[in-house]
């Protein structure tokens, strides 16, 4: 069997396994929450992971899965993509075509945080105006902060500038992703928490809803 036939067979087998694991109630519930896919089998994450475990990580297979407009295929793509062949240009293409928040969160967790160029790339994404580039940037930074929280002073300042600005002016998903990253930054060490508190102190009596919300969330984190 040549590589093209093998790939075709693997995709066929994966789709068969997904159909057999289909959960209509989960799929329906996702639709109601606004997670719309061309096709969604409603397969739970542990089952998707066990399907992924039956395959070697493979660039061609992961890329083919990503191109499918099927929820479970997109999740499997992030699980089966090898890090070494996932070039920065491909990462940009994936992020530019990110379909929704579920896939963004899972791809950042399963793939983006492990990329050798993740720190630089995530800062590149948060500086972009497009919603899912910012979302993936902040979620990846949050993951990196959980593993290793050090940033130099210039990078810390850039991160906080971008995160606070994104929280105050971004969409709902951008705001949540930025806040996730701010929380991780604050949790890493006390000095970071003080730094964020100093940044938002002036918002305490703001009449703007977003500014007041940011102040309260930071205060909650510290308390």
Q: The tokens of 87 are what?
A: 């070039």
CB 132 within 8 A of CB 170: no
Confidence (pTM) = 0.92
* Residue 27 C-beta-side C-alpha neighbours within 13 Å: 16
For residue 178, pLDDT over 80 is answered with: yes
Which is more confidently placed, 32 or 206?
A: 206
39 DSSP β-pair partners: 70
For residue range 65-104, list pLDDT tens digits in order.
Answer: 999 999 999 999 999 999 999 999 999 999 999 999 999 9
Domain spans, the chain:
1-82, 96-223
What confidence category does residue 40 fall into, taking pLDDT thresholds of 50, 70 and 90? Answer: confident
Alpha-carbon distance 103 to 50, whole Å? 18
Q: Among residues of the chain, what percentage have pLDDT more than 90?
A: 81
* Residue 208 C-beta-side C-alpha neighbours within 13 Å: 9
The pLDDT of residue 33 = 81
């Amino acid at each position: 069997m040549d590589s093209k036939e093998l790939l075709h067979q693997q995709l066929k087998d994966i789709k068969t396994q997904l159909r057999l694991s289909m959960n209509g109630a989960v799929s329906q519930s996702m639709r109601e929450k606004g997670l719309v896919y061309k096709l969604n089998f409603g397969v739970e994450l542990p089952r998707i992971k066990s399907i992924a475990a039956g395959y070697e990580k493979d660039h061609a297979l992961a890329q083919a899965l990503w191109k499918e407009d099927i929820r479970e295929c997109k999740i499997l793509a992030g699980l089966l993509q090898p890090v070494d062949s996932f070039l920065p240009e491909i990462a940009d293409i994936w992020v530019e075509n990110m379909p929704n928040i579920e896939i963004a969160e899972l791809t950042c967790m399963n793939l983006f945080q492990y990329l050798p160029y993740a720190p630089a790339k995530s800062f590149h994404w948060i500086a972009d105006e497009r919603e899912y580039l910012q979302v993936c940037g902040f979620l990846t930074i949050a993951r990196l902060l959980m593993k290793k929280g050090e940033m130099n002073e210039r990078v810390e300042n850039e991160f906080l500038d971008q995160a606070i600005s994104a929280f105050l002016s971004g969409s709902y998903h951008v705001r949540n992703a930025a806040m996730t990253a701010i929380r991780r930054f604050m949790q890493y060490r006390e000095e970071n928490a003080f730094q964020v508190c100093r940044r938002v102190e002036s918002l305490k009596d703001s009449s703007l809803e977003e500014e007041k919300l940011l102040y309260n969330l930071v205060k909650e984190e510290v308390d």
